Amino acid sequence: MIITIDGPSGVGKGTIARITSESVGFNYLDSGAMYRALALFADLHGIQKEDDKRLKKLLIDFHIRFIKEDGKEKVFINSDDVTEDIRTNEISTLASKFAVNETIRGVLRQMQRRLVKNKNYVAEGRDMGTYVFPGAEYKFYLDADPAIRANRRALQLKEMLGININETKVLEEITKRDKLDMTRSVCPLHPADDAVIIDTSILSIDDVVKKVESVVKNNA
Ligand code: C5P
């Protein structure tokens, strides 16, 4: 069974998806981490998002693995631990730029479907319920006021990487990223027609998790 959770940056999807996956006993797919890792990998090789020929070759050598260590989910590209490297603001922006490339999306989509096949997953991202798993049993789309999302994202960066970042700058970046994600021609971010839409602006994490769980339990 697949539960999809989509929505823009800073809306709390990662936290909600992780908690929900634990409470229902499903695996967790962080598709954003795949876009981030690929952007980092391409950047390290000096490859631009328009360079389809080199990207295709690079994708052959791109093996991403999610490994749970001491209760923490770690991300590896081949044998390198990139868990923290992919969380910077620079990589957030770069990931959105690479995410407009159709070749990349096609390969990552295949990887996501292969990973999830015949298993129970909570899949989180921008296009999980719309383009990657259109037949998912439960679909959620989380949204929130951009200023609130910027505040959450700044707190997250402080917690995760110890970085103090100006919230106004984060808001600018989030706004740019939203625009890029929502207006790209391939798999733009939008709610699936059959998604339950939750505005998380004034809800606690606990409130949102309860809402998600109640939809799943009431329809199970
Ligand atoms: O969710 P996260 O902030 O980690 O995603 C980083 C970027 O990766 C997004 O801004 C988006 O451009 C891209 N992405 C995507 N499709 C997904 C997940 C992420 O295009 N399913």
Q: Is residue 218 part of a domain?
A: no
pLDDT at 69: 86
pLDDT at 168: 93
Instruction: Determine whether the shortest distance from the Cβ of 36 to ligand 1 is under 6 A.
Output: yes
Q: Is residue 219 part of a domain?
A: no
Q: Is residue 207 part of a domain?
A: no
Instruction: Determine whether the shortest distance from the Cβ of 177 to ligand 1 is under 6 A.
Output: yes
Q: Is residue 206 part of a domain?
A: no
For 63, the domain range is: 2-200
pLDDT at 160: 80
pLDDT tens, position by position, 108-164: 999 999 999 999 999 999 999 999 999 999 999 999 999 999 999 888 888 888 878
- Across the range 205-212, mean pLDDT stands at 95
Q: Is residue 160 part of a domain?
A: yes
Dist CA 166 CA 89 (whole Å): 12
pLDDT tens, position by position, 173-204: 999 999 999 999 999 999 999 999 999 999 99
Instruction: Determine whether the shortest distance from the Cβ of 127 to ligand 1 is under 6 A.
Output: yes
Instruction: Determine whether the shortest distance from the Cβ of 112 to ligand 1 is under 6 A.
Output: no
Q: Is residue 217 part of a domain?
A: no
CA atoms within 13 A on the CB side of 38: 30
pLDDT tens, position by position, 35-93: 999 999 999 999 999 999 999 999 999 999 999 888 788 999 999 999 999 998 899 99
- Burial letters 50-86, b for 16+ CB under 10 A, else e: eeeeebeebbeebebebeeeeeeeebebeeeebbebb
Q: How confident is the model at residue 220 (pLDDT cuts 50, 70, 90)?
A: low
Q: Is residue 64 part of a domain?
A: yes
pLDDT above 70 (res 4): yes
Dist CA 174 CA 166 (whole Å): 12
Q: Is residue 46 part of a domain?
A: yes
Choosing from 6, 83, 126, 153 the residue with most ligand 1 atoms within 8 A of its CB, the one to mutate for a pocket test is: 126
Q: For the domain that residue 94 is a member of, what is the CATH number?
A: 3.40.50.300
Q: Residues with Cβ < 8 Å from 28, sequence gap 6 or more?
A: 17, 18, 21, 22, 73, 121, 122, 124
State pTM to two decimals.
Answer: 0.95
Total number of domains in the chain: 1
